Amino acid sequence: MKNNIIIAGVPRAGKSTISHRLAARFGYQHISMDSIIAGFEKCFPETGVNTYAGLSSMDTLHMISGKMAPFVRAMLDSAEYDEFEPGMVIDMYQLLPEDYMKYIHGANCEIFYFLTSNVTPKERFAIQKKYDTEKDYTFYKSDEELREGAVYIVEQSILMKEQCQTYGLRYFETAKNREQVFEEFLKIF
């Protein structure tokens, strides 16, 4: 097992939950890339990292993934956490497998994707409602917005799953039997 872990995938698939469990159980330093991306959006708009740039959901995913993947590689190449055993667990939504392979593969890390590609948008909406908390930006969205977003999240999950299969990257479907999937995942460590 490499020193650093990236947990990537779609919202409410359990990325933060599993990242926190890895940190608590094994001592990884948890880093939320969603918080870092929000900082870029607010403080450094010149970077072009903007979730609300008026692009389609899929175009936004591609744009942010392509900009943040080299940033993550720079973080890993800094070797800041290599002296610690274990290092960091990076929790990240907008990182496509193709950009992981292009920019990050070969660094001192392993990646695992958490997805919900085997559900309908209606089932995905129910997952969102079940796992949203006041800490999540989607908690304050209307049901209409969440239903629309559920369509996009299913599409993004399918894309990520297809790319994981193409590149031989491990992924976990968490729409059903979520806790069982988490326990099976943690056995890897």
pLDDT in tens, the chain (189 residues): 578 999 999 988 999 999 999 999 999 999 999 889 989 889 998 888 888 778 899 999 999 999 999 999 999 998 776 666 788 999 999 999 999 999 999 998 999 999 999 999 998 888 888 888 787 777 778 888 888 888 999 999 999 999 999 999 999 999 999 999 999 999 988
Query: What single-letter DSSP state applies at residue 28?
Result: P
DSSP state of 87: -
Q: Looking at 12-56, list the stretches that DSSP marks H as alpha helix, in order from N- to C-terminal side.
A: 15-26, 33-43
Q: Which two tokens stand for residue 97?
A: 């497998």
H/E stretch holding 92 reads: strand 88-92
Overall fold of domain 4-186: Rossmann fold (3.40.50)
d(C-alpha 163, C-alpha 106), whole Å:
17
Residue 175 CB burial class (10 angstroms; 0-12, 13-18, ≥19):
buried
What CA–CA distance (Å, rounded) separates 10 from 156? 7
pLDDT, residue 81, reads 66
Strand order in the sheet with 109-115: 29-32, 88-92, 4-9, 109-115, 170-173
Cα(94)–Cα(11) distance, integer angstroms: 9
Among 186, 181, 184, 175, residue whose Cα is nearest residue 23: 186
Distance, CA of 20 to CA of 42 (rounded, Å): 25
- Phi/psi for 119 (5° steps) reads -135, 160
Distance (Å, rounded) from C-alpha 152 to C-alpha 156? 6
Question: Which sequence spans correspond to the domains of the chain?
Answer: 4-186
Which two three-digit tokens encode residue 141? 């969205």
